[in-house]
Chains A and B, each alone.
Chain A
Amino acid sequence: MQDLEKYILRIADSTLIISHRLSEWCSKGPTLEEDIALANISLDLLGRANALLEYSAKINGNKTANDLAFRRDDREFYNFQLCEQENGHFGDTIIRQFLYDCFSLLFFQELSKSKDETLSAISIKSLKEIKYHLRHTHNWVIRLGDGTETSNQKIQESLNKIWKFTGEFFETDDVDKKIIENKIGVDNKKLKKDWDSLVDKVLTEAKLKKPEDKDMITGSKEGIHTGLLENILSEMQCLPRAYPDAKW
């Protein structure tokens, strides 16, 4: 696999998997408005994933976006393990999405400056959407954190539980290094400081305590995952697995 193909695939996979997780809320949201909101955010993410998968497939030359989404096993997916974590209760989902939205805002701001025109165009488009996704999750983090004693306690637990998965946002390996050198990719390590202050600001307002960076989870760049990804794939890929020749 070419470096650029893999670099794009990693971004696409995180987007696709977290989109799928959010889509699981459809018809189960706590209110009708929230159900619609989560489905809308999920759709934006799915559209972004599709654009990225198509681009990765184009570089590959022999695959389609559908091949990439539906004909790979969990070891061949490179999404952040945060994205595959379970929806849990509403607060768990909101915290997962909030941390990812903060990362996405900073990441796509940098990627929009990429020398690669397609990546830059997809990023500029995505940023318009990320801004209102983040506004939504940011509002909820404050509402739940600075809400009742119970809501504060619950969302603090959500935060403590998922924190160890945020380390992967800021990792770089040899593939990244080459893409960064070519002024196409983003140096994720450099995003950590801004991400910390963005997250800190909201957590403080929400009366939540930021967990420490310790025992952080790693491995997704090598296709290592929690068992949860396999559960997602067995649902997401069930049709192509059962009927390999099925057409849309």
Chain B
Amino acid sequence: MQNGNLNTIWDILGTVPDPEIPVISVVELGVIRNVEFIENEYVISVTPTYSGCPAVKTFQDDIKTQLKANNINNFKIKIVYKPAWTTNWMTKKTKKKLKEYGISPPEDIAQCPQCNSTNIELISEFGATACKSLYKCSDCLEPFEHFKCI
């Protein structure tokens, strides 16, 4: 398929998982900003989540691999910085998936994904990945990660 069917591209991108949180796709994460067909080439605009997120390089490679696996070779990936990525781009459905996976989704108030308690304690603003902070639930005592709002 070499013609300009943009929906097909979006569908393929929807199957590329976030390298660090595999229950959501790169589309759900909100990093795919645009797909265009310009002069016989798909141009996929991607924005980084955090400036230094090591996953940025990985998901570019994953996107390339997945498109090629679907016989799409006429594409290029363009990095865009504007507008800056925000967690507001995540849909309710995506946030629900995060919660089911055990990560408190990016809402103003973190909530224990195990018992829904908001009686919680911040352990560190910095977690195992740039996008998450660490909390502990004071009710069920489980530690959990919260997706930071930016």
Give A contacts to B, CB under 8 Å: 33-34, 36-37, 40-48, 50-51, 117-118, 120-122, 124-126, 128-129, 132, 135-136
Contacts and interface: CB of A to CB of B under 8 A. Distances in A.
Contacts of A128: 84, 150
A125 B125 contact: no
A40 B50 CA distance: 10
Top 3 A-B pairs, shortest CB-CB distance:
A47-B51, A47-B52, A43-B52
Interface stretch (B32-40, B64-72, B101-109, B127-135): B127-135
A43 B130 contact: yes
A122 B54 contact: no
B125 A43 contact: no
Contacts of B85: 125
A37 B54 contact: no
A46 to B, nearest CB: 5
Chain B's interface size range is: 20 to 34
Contacts of A43: 50-54, 130
B51 A129 contact: yes
Contacts of A33: 123-124, 126, 134
A48 B127 contact: no
A37 B125 contact: yes
Most buried by B among A122, A126, A128: A128
A156 B133 CA distance: 30
B82 A117 contact: yes
Interface string B39-53: 000000000101111
